[in-house]
Amino acid sequence: MKEKLQKIKEEAMNRIAASDDLTKLNDVRVAVLGKKGELTAVLKSMKDVLPEERPAFGQLVNEVRSEIEDKLENAKKALEAKELELRLQNEVIDVTLPAKKNKVGHRHPNTIALEEVERIFIGMGYEVVEGPEVELDYYNFEALNIPANHPAKDEQDTFYINNEIVLRTQTSPVQVREMEKGKLPIRMIAPGRVFRADEVDATHSPSFHQIEGLVIDKHITFSDLKGTLEEFARELFGPDTKVKFRPHHFPFTEPSAEMDVTCFKCGGKGCRFCKGEGWIEILGCGMVHPRVLRMSGIDPEEYSGFAFGVGLERIALLKYEIDDMRLLYENDDRFLKQF
Ligand SMILES: [Zn+2]
C-alpha cells in the first residue's frame, strides 16, 4: 500500500509539473483528489489495512494528499501569473511605433489674399456682400450698360446656360443687385468666382475670382476713388507704394481708368519682376456711369459713385511671387504647404 501511495504521489507530481495550462492542472486534481480519484480510492481501501496500522497509514495518506495539494496550488499560481504576463504582453501599447499622422490643412493663397483685401476694406467701413454665380444676362451685361450688340459682350467669352442665363463673367452684377435694393449710401465689396470660356494657361483659367467694389453716396468724386484705392494699395503692398491711373474704357463707368502700383520688388526702378517697367497693373476702376445708376433706380443728379474690380488671383500671384496661375488650382500639397 505504501508503495502504491508513493507511486501515486510521484505520478501526480510529474503530471502537475507537466501541466502547462490551468485546464490540464485541473484534470490532474480531479484524477488524483476527485471523488473517483486515485488517492480517494486508496482512502476507500483503508478497510484492507490492518486496524493497528490504520492511523499511521491514514496519516501517510493525508501527508501525501497535503503535498499534492500544495504542489497543485503552487502550480496554479505560477500558471495564473504566466497567463497574466502573457495577456499584458499582448495588450501592451508600443509607444515607439510611428503614430497615425493627422494632416493639418493650410489656408489657400487665394483665401489669404481675400482675407487681407476684406480686412482693408472692412477697416474703411465697407460691407462684404455676395451674389449668384449663375446670373441673368440682364444683371451680367445689360444693367451694366452692355447691351446685346455691344462689342464688350464679345470680349468676355461667356458660358451661356440659355439666352437669358449665364455663368457670370464678372462680379459687377452684384453691384446692380445692391443698387436695386434702394438702400443708400452703399459701401461694399463683392468677392466671388467668375467664369469665362478661356483656355487654361499660365495667366488664364475658365474659372477665377474677382473682388468688386462699389461706393454710392452724395458728392462722391474721382478724388474719393483715387484716395480710397491709393490707401488700399499702400495697405496691401506697403506704405511706400505709389499709384498711377491710366485712362481706360469700361461700359459701366465714365470716366474709367486702370490703376498701376509701383513694383514692390524694386520700388519702381524696374526689375525682372515688373519686366523693367517699375509699375504693375493692379485693377480697373471708374465713376459709375449715370446710365447704370438710372437703370438701378438711382438719380444720377443726386447720387454719384465709383466702382472697381480687382482679380483675386492677380493679388495672390503678386504677393507670393507665383509665376503660374495654374498652381493655384492644382491643389498640389507641396505647393500649398508653403503658405
Ligand atoms: Zn520691379
Residues in the annotated binding site:
254
Q: Residue 155's pLDDT is what?
A: 62
Residues in the annotated binding site for Mg(2+):
254
Ligand 1 centroid – CA 49 distance (Å): 119
**Contact at 8 Å (CB) between 213 and 282?**
no
Asked whether residue 97 carries a pLDDT value surpassing 70, the answer given is: yes
Average pLDDT over residues 98-109: 83
For 121-162, the pLDDT digits (tens) are 999 999 999 999 999 999 999 999 888 877 767 666 888 998
For 222-231, the pLDDT digits (tens) are 999 999 999 9
Query: Could you tell me which residues come within 8 angstroms of residue 72 by beta carbon, excluding any fewer than 6 positions away?
Result: 16, 25, 28, 29, 33
Ligand 1 centroid – CA 196 distance (Å): 30
Percent of the chain whose predicted confidence (pLDDT) is above 90:
50
Average pLDDT over residues 245-268: 92
**For 254, phi and psi rounded to 5 degrees?**
-160, 115
Query: Could you tell me which residues come within 8 angstroms of residue 103 by beta carbon, excluding any fewer than 6 positions away?
Result: none
**Contact at 8 Å (CB) between 125 and 231?**
no
Whole-angstrom Cα distance, residue 82 to residue 18? 15
Q: Residue 6's pLDDT is what?
A: 85
Ligand 1 centroid – CA 268 distance (Å): 6
SS (H, E, C) the chain: CHHHHHHHHHHHHHHHHHCCCHHHHHHHHHHHHCCCCHHHHHHHHHHHCCHHHHHHHHHHHHHHHHHHHHHHHHHHHHHHHHHHHHHHHHHCCCCCCCCCCCCCCCCCHHHHHHHHHHHHHHHCCCEECCCCCEEEHHHHCHHHCCCCCCHHHHHCCCCECCCCEEECCCCCHHHHHHHHCCCCCEEEEEEEEEECCCCCCCCCCCEEEEEEEEEEECCCCHHHHHHHHHHHHHHHHCCCCCEEEEEEEECCEEEEEEEEEECCCCCCCCCCCCCCCCEEEEEEEEEECHHHHHHCCCCCCCCEEEEEEEEHHHHHHHHCCCCCHHHHCCCCHHHHCCC
pTM to 2 decimals?
0.68
Q: How confident is the model at residue 247 (pLDDT cuts 50, 70, 90)?
A: very high
Where b means 16+ CB within 10 Å and e means fewer, 287-324 reads bbbbebbebbebeeeebbbbbbbbbbbbbbbbeeebee
Q: Residue 156's pLDDT is what?
A: 66
Q: How confident is the model at residue 284 (pLDDT cuts 50, 70, 90)?
A: very high
Asked whether residue 189 carries a pLDDT value surpassing 70, the answer given is: yes
Ligand 1 centroid – CA 262 distance (Å): 8
Of 132-136, 162-166, 313-317, 332-336, which gets the smallest average pLDDT?
Answer: 332-336
Ligand 1 centroid – CA 89 distance (Å): 66
Q: Residue 152's pLDDT is what?
A: 67
Ligand 1 centroid – CA 311 distance (Å): 20
Q: Residue 214's pLDDT is what?
A: 97
Asked whether residue 245 carries a pLDDT value surpassing 90, the answer given is: yes
Who has greater pLDDT, 106 or 282? 282
